[in-house]
């Protein structure tokens, strides 16, 4: 009985440590972009003696992206464009979306995403893990959030190019585009698996796969 009590006390002490991320051991870790990769999260830190204010500044979000071709341009802040963002657990992206342009259904496995509309009108929506679909329209001044891991999309439903800023609570949120993940993976998912999953025939699977370059 005494041993069980001791074990329970140890687990009670360790549980907060096990389930939470450790706090950073420094104020910042400005990315040393000249350093070789070590396989660690983030990029190795620059010597603090070499850090200056410009490492925490970028103008990249003020640059319009080229939407010709796909109708979409994404301009992210990275440790290359803002070394001071390294290891802080966040990032931002500027999206430029041409009229009728679409950011197709996708998910971010490591982050929630909030978008803020600067120009244009969009239809946005996401599906939760219970299959509930939540959608609305957003216009300049509106913000909308997509919870972590949910499938979501954004579509320009106006007559002018959309400009919006997306923010993520991860330096590397990851993006899993549904169509490419299913029909253009390497190696490819079996045609029979996809045919059964979507209740279509193999010929239709092959046609869809070709349209995505798979």
Q: Is the pLDDT of residue 8 over 80?
A: no
Q: Is residue 163's pLDDT more than 70?
A: yes
User: At a CB cut-off of 8 Å and minimum separation 6, what does 127 contact?
Assistant: 133, 134, 150, 151, 152
| pLDDT tens by residue, 99-109 | 999 999 999 99
Position 43 scores a pLDDT of 87
State residue 210's pLDDT score: 93
Strands across the sheet containing 91-97: 72-76, 91-97, 162-168, 113-119, 143-146
Q: Is 214 helix (H, G, I), strand (E, B) or coil?
A: coil
Q: What is the pLDDT, as a whole number, of residue 25?
A: 79
| Segment 21-77, tens digit of pLDDT | 446 678 999 999 998 665 566 789 999 999 999 999 999 999 999 999 899 999 999
The predicted-structure confidence for 82-102, as pLDDT tens digits, reads as follows 999 998 989 999 999 999 999
**For residue 21, what pLDDT is reported?**
44
DSSP per-residue string spanning 8-39: HHHHHHHHHHHHSPPPPSSS---B-TTSPP-S
Least confidently predicted of 3-12, 106-115, 149-158: 3-12
* Contact status, residue 147 vs residue 109, Cβ threshold 8 Å: no
- pTM for the model stands at 0.84
pLDDT at 19: 47
Q: Where are the domains of the chain?
A: 48-62+70-174, 181-211
Tens of pLDDT along 117-139?
Answer: 999 999 999 999 999 999 999 99
Question: Looking at the domain covering 48-62+70-174, what would its CATH class be?
Answer: mainly beta
């Amino acid at each position: 009985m005494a041993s069980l009590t001791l074990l329970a006390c140890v687990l009670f002490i360790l549980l907060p440590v096990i389930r939470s991320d450790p706090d950073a051991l420094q104020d910042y870790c400005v990315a040393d972009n000249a350093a070789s990769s070590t396989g660690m999260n983030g990029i190795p830190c620059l010597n603090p003696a070499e850090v200056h204010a410009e490492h925490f500044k970028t103008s990249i979000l003020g640059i319009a992206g080229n939407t010709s071709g796909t109708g979409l341009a994404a301009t992210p802040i990275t440790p290359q464009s803002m070394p001071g963002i390294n290891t802080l657990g966040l990032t931002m992206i500027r999206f430029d979306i041409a009229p009728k342009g679409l950011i197709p259904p996708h998910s971010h496995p490591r982050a929630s995403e909030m978008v803020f509309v600067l120009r244009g009108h969009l239809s946005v929506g996401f599906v939760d893990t219970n299959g509930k679909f939540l959608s609305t329209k957003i216009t300049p001044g509106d913000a909308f959030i997509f919870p972590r891991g949910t499938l979501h999309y954004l579509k320009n439903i106006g007559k002018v190019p959309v400009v919006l800023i997306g923010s993520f609570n991860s330096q590397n949120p990851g993006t899993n585009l549904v169509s490419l993940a299913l029909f253009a993976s390497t190696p490819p998912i079996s045609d029979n698996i996809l045919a059964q999953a979507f209740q279509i025939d193999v010929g239709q699977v092959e046609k869809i796969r070709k349209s995505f370059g798979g």
